């Protein structure tokens, strides 16, 4: 299963005060599931460095709000990997 995540935030934080299940981590928890393939996060306007770098290491496509404006919706949709 591939996930297309529309949000202003990356939601890829590993933990908040040792809690793995918070508002800052649902996409990170999805990445850990065996049946999740590719994740695309669209509309991101703010991301901390470490979660962003970890998302990139894990293969997440991140499209910022600025990139979305520059590319346009058709190009962004085309950049999202197709499911199998």
Task: Quick: pLDDT tens for 27-82.
Answer: 999 999 999 999 999 999 999 999 999 999 999 999 999 999 999 999 999 999 99
What is the pLDDT at residue 84? Answer: 67
Q: Is residue 84 part of a domain?
A: no
Q: Is residue 60 part of a domain?
A: yes
Q: Is residue 40 part of a domain?
A: yes
- Using pLDDT thresholds of 50, 70 and 90, give the confidence band for residue 83: confident
Q: Is residue 54 part of a domain?
A: yes
Q: Is residue 12 part of a domain?
A: yes
Q: Is residue 67 part of a domain?
A: yes
Q: Is residue 38 part of a domain?
A: yes
What is the pLDDT at residue 31? Answer: 97
For residue 17, is pLDDT > 70? yes
Residues, the chain, total? 84
Average pLDDT over residues 8-18: 96
Q: What is the total count of domains within the chain?
A: 1
Alpha helix (H) ranges present in the chain?
26-31, 49-57, 65-71, 73-79
User: Which residues does 9 contact at the CB level (< 8 Å), separation at least 6?
Assistant: 24, 44, 45, 46, 47
Which residues form the domain of 65? 3-79
Q: Is residue 25 part of a domain?
A: yes
**82-50-13 Cα angle (round to 5):** 70
């Amino acid at each position: 299963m591939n996930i297309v995540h529309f949000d202003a935030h990356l939601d890829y934080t590993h933990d908040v005060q040792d809690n793995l299940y918070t508002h800052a981590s649902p996409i990170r928890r999805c990445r850990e599931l065996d049946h999740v393939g590719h994740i695309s996060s669209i509309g991101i306007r703010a991301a901390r460095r470490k979660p962003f770098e970890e998302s990139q290491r894990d293969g997440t496509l991140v499209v910022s709000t600025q990139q979305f404006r520059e590319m346009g919706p058709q190009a962004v949709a085309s950049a999202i990997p197709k499911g199998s």
